[in-house]
């Protein structure tokens, strides 16, 4: 329904007030509500887009992983976490995290799940699909 709105007709006007027809006031209120809803929707879509962008690797980050750097370390640094913060969030020891990041240990599936959850990434993001090649979203 694309109804063309009639021009607003002022019934009375003073320095401080204006008097409108009830229908005009209702139409203006409805338009304001629609505009506020549209703004809220756009803000929500922007927040989703920003979150998705923060989960995507930049080219240099993907290159670091392809060069052999630990994906856990790359994702941790991307999110601005230090080892202690990530270890606490994943409920593992900081020394165990350091061993995973230096590739002294691979980490169990459960440990990698905890790290993925703490980093808010999929488990497959931390595991190569084949030697030396990473799936980058």
Residue 132 lies in a domain: no
Q: What is the pLDDT of residues 44-92, one digit of tens each?
A: 788 767 666 567 788 999 899 888 899 999 999 998 899 999 999 999 9
Give CA angle at 111 (89, 80), nearest 5°. 40
Residue 5 lies in a domain: no
Q: What is the pLDDT of residues 57-68, one digit of tens each?
A: 889 998 998 888
Residues 67 and 120 in one domain: yes
Residues 117 and 65 in one domain: yes
Q: How many domains does the chain have?
A: 2
- Are the C-beta atoms of 41 and 47 separated by less than 8 Å? no
Residues 83 and 32 in one domain: no
Residues 69 and 121 in one domain: yes
Residues 51 and 64 in one domain: no
Residue 50 lies in a domain: yes
User: Is the pTM higher than 0.75?
Assistant: no
Residues 103 and 87 in one domain: yes
**C-beta atoms surrounding 125 within 10 Å:** 22
Q: What is the pLDDT of residues 113-129, one digit of tens each?
A: 999 999 988 888 888 65
User: Distance (Å, rounded) from C-alpha 137 to C-alpha 126?
Assistant: 12
Domain hosting 107: range is 59-126
Entry field: residues in the chain: 137
User: Distance (Å, rounded) from C-alpha 102 to C-alpha 80?
Assistant: 18
Residues 24 and 50 in one domain: yes
**Looking at residue 73, which CATH number applies to its domain?**
1.10.260.40
């Amino acid at each position: 329904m694309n109804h063309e709105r009639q021009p607003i007709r002022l019934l009375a006007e003073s320095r401080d007030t204006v008097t409108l027809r009830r229908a005009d006031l209702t139409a203006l209120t409805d338009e304001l509500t629609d505009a506020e809803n549209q703004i809220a929707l756009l803000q929500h879509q922007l927040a989703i887009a920003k979150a998705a962008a923060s989960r995507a690797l930049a080219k240099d980050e993907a290159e670091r992983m392809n060069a052999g750097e630990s994906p856990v370390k790359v994702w941790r640094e991307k999110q601005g976490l230090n080892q202690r913060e990530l270890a606490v969030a994943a409920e593992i020891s900081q020394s165990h995290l350091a061993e995973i990041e230096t590739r002294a240990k691979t980490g169990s599936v459960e440990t990698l799940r905890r790290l993925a959850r703490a980093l808010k990434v999929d488990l497959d993001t931390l595991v190569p699909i084949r030697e030396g090649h990473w799936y980058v979203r």
